Amino acid sequence: MRRGDRARVIAILIVAGIVCQRAAVRAQSAEAEVLFRDGRELVKQGKTAAGCDKLAASERLEASVGTLLNLGDCREQLGKLASAWAAFRKAEAMAKRAGGDDRRQAEASRRAALLEPRLPSLEIGVPHRVEGLVVRRDGELVDAAQWSTVLPIDPGSYTIVAEAPGYQAWRTTVLVSLGAKRLVVVVPSLERALVAPGLEAVRPLPEPPVAVPLAAVTPRRAGMWTMSRKISVGIGFAGAGALGTALYFGVHANTLQDRADRRCPLVVCADPEGLAQNDQAQRSATSANALYVAGGAMVAAAVVLWLAGAPGEARVVPTTGDHQLGAAMTGRF
């Protein structure tokens, strides 16, 4: 082949490659254009959610200022303010880079500025960090750079999960409403897992019961009301009183907690009265727990004293075993 013929062949191949490349670009632009038109038509028909999906698909194929402006508008209609704000800001930046589109750049900036004061936001605070800690929001990974940072978010319900190897996973659900300005979710310090994944707990061999005599009760006396039984009756009344008081505090705590929950249904609460009721409920619950323990211990001691103080010979024998401690009584009652 002569040199001139080779040059012509090379030129034809180059032109053919350019034509094919432009044809491919036009095909991609055509798909994006069809999705864009279908999306706008659906929005006009009142099918806003379906129209938004079409516009989002068009933007993924080929981003443009016009598509982003329409996408931001339909997302705002759906109440997805954070997504709409992001679309307007992206349209503004694209128009600024392209140049010569001052009108749509100004419109995108104006729409974004109008949304900013209304944007709900969520901050996921992570004060206690451990090796391998991962935080997810509705299954999507939250980058560590976004921890303890206020970020705009669309209204809705979100499940926050924090997990790390060797620790028990923590999760909570938070509701972000349209009127919410800033919600804060704090991930607590994770508790270590009792058993490592894939391993079975190793239990020690049970120890045989050991009986160790502690003290012998005095021989039987005449009459039923021995000194020990008289003391047991007093302790029993005191224990019953403690249990009754504990019951009162428990009911009171539940009532206060119900009131607090009605005022503060979310994890984060700014209602002073709701917070005060929650604090009172916690104090009442703590008092109830302490009184239950004290009352139960006194009633148990009263029973032991009553039996040990029977008018006969009796012996109290404690027993110990596999992580257990108890008492046995022998003799005549």
What pLDDT, on the 0 to 100 scale, is given for residue 301? 81
What pLDDT, on the 0 to 100 scale, is given for residue 328? 56
Instruction: Report d(CA 217, CA 313) in Å as an integer.
Output: 7
What pLDDT, on the 0 to 100 scale, is given for residue 236? 79
What pLDDT, on the 0 to 100 scale, is given for residue 187? 93
What pLDDT, on the 0 to 100 scale, is given for residue 322? 54
Q: Give me the residues of the chain with pLDDT under 70, please.
A: 1-28, 195-223, 260, 265-270, 274, 309-333
pTM attached to this predicted model: 0.47
What pLDDT, on the 0 to 100 scale, is given for residue 321? 54
Instruction: Report d(CA 107, CA 262) in Å as an integer.
Output: 43
What pLDDT, on the 0 to 100 scale, is given for residue 247? 84
What pLDDT, on the 0 to 100 scale, is given for residue 70? 94
List, for residues 265-280, the tens digit of each pLDDT value. Answer: 655 666 777 678 777 8
Instruction: Report d(CA 41, CA 33) in Å as an integer.
Output: 12
What pLDDT, on the 0 to 100 scale, is given for residue 24? 35
Longest CA–CA separation in the chain, Å:
138
What pLDDT, on the 0 to 100 scale, is given for residue 26? 35
DSSP secondary structure of 13-77: HHHHHHHHHHHHHHHHHHHHHHHHHHHHHHHHTT-HHHHHHHHHHHHHHS--HHHHHHHHHHHHH
List, for residues 107-136, the tens digit of each pLDDT value. Answer: 999 999 999 999 888 989 999 888 999 999
What pLDDT, on the 0 to 100 scale, is given for residue 49? 94
Q: What is the DSSP letter of 146?
A: G
List, for residues 186-202, the tens digit of each pLDDT value. Answer: 999 999 987 655 555 44
CA dihedral 34, 37, 40, 43 (to 10 degrees): -60
